[in-house]
Amino acid sequence: MSLYTPEPDLCDHCCRFGHQSWKCKSVPLCRYCSGGHPSSHCLEKIHAGTRVIPLCCNCGGDHNASSRCCPARSRPIREPQTPGTTIGPSRVIFQPAPALQHNAWANGAPSWSNFPALPLPAAQPSAFPPLPGTAAPAQSGAAHSPVPAIRLPVPVPPRTAPYYAAVVGAEDTAPALQAGVPVFLQDMVQLLLGIQAEVRDLRVRVTALERQQDAASPPPQPVPTPVQPASQPARKNQPQSVAARPRPQPVSATVQPWPPEEMAALMGGTMGWRIRSSR
**DSSP string covering 84-148, please?**
TT--SSPPEEEEPPPPPSS-TTTT-S--GGGSPPPPPPPP---SSPPPTT-PPPP---PPPPSSP
Residue-wise pLDDT tens digits, 90-119: 666 666 666 655 555 555 555 666 666 777
- Collect all residues with Cβ–Cβ distance below 8 Å to 91 and sequence separation of at least 6: 78, 79
Give the type of residue at 186: Q
At 198, the pLDDT band (50, 70, 90 cuts) reads very high
Look at residue 254 and tell me if it is in a domain.
no
Does 168 lie in the same domain as 93?
no
pTM score over 0.75 = no
Average pLDDT over residues 171-199: 75
Structural domain boundaries enclosing 183: 161-214
Last residue of a domain, one of 55, 86, 103: 103
Look at residue 188 and tell me if it is in a domain.
yes
3-state secondary structure of 51: coil
What is the percentage of the chain residues whose pLDDT exceeds 70? Answer: 43
What's the CA gap between 145 and 112, in Å, rounded?
A: 9
* Counted domains in the chain: 2
Query: Does 33 score more than 70 pLDDT?
Result: yes
Does 99 lie in the same domain as 173?
no
The pLDDT score that the predictor gives to residue 176 is 46
Does 93 lie in the same domain as 24?
yes
What's the CA gap between 201 and 151, in Å, rounded?
A: 47
The pLDDT score that the predictor gives to residue 202 is 92
Does 166 lie in the same domain as 86?
no
Look at residue 244 and tell me if it is in a domain.
no
Look at residue 155 and tell me if it is in a domain.
no
Look at residue 241 and tell me if it is in a domain.
no
Residue 34 region by backbone torsions, left for phi larger than 0, else alpha for psi between -120 and 50, else beta: left
What is the average pLDDT score of the chain?
Answer: 70
Look at residue 97 and tell me if it is in a domain.
yes
Look at residue 182 and tell me if it is in a domain.
yes
